[in-house]
Structures are given as C-alpha cells and as structure tokens.
Amino acid sequence: MIKNLSKSLIMALSLVVMGLFVSWPLGAQDVPRMTTEELNGILGNSDVIVLDVRESQNWQDSEVKIKGAVRGHPGQISSWFNQYPKDKKLVLY
C-alpha cells in the first residue's frame, strides 16, 4: 500500500515538474495539465502517446516508469513534433 502511494506521489511530482519545464517557454496558460488519476484513465488509449522526457540520469535511476511510455530526450523537443502523428495526444512527464 505504501509502495503504491509512493509511486503515485513520485508520478504526480514528475508530472508537475515536467509541466513546469515544458510550460516555461510556452507560457503556463498554453499547457493543459492533468492529474495522476486523469493519466491513469487514458493509459492504454491508442490516441495517447506518453513521453518520458526526464533527463537521462533521472530516467536511468528511476524505479518508476509508466508502462508503455516512450523515451523522449528532453533536448530534442523539435523532433517530437515530426515523429508522432498530429492526431495523437502527447502526454509529457
């Protein structure tokens, strides 16, 4: 139970941190946010692509990874736009 709560907390914090990272250049009002519960509700949906964009060391050291998430290097943001279909929802964490 505590282990699951810890994973959820880590996931939520990761989403918040990545939201701040991504929203800084774009303006916070331009980036939709979601809760951990909302993300859990759409995982497995074929219209959603989850990108794990944590820095390499953080990603490698983490015991928590979202099943089905694709690794996206945070320094290559421009390549993401051409790599994934425009009709898919990209979720960054």
CA distance 78 to 11: 25
Per-position pLDDT tens, the chain of length 93: 555 545 555 555 555 555 544 444 545 567 788 888 998 899 989 999 998 888 878 877 888 888 888 888 888 877 777 888 888 888 888
State residue 15's pLDDT score: 53
Q: Does domain 2-92 have CATH number 3.40.250?
A: yes
Grouping H, G, I as helix, E, B as strand and the rest as coil, residue 34 is coil
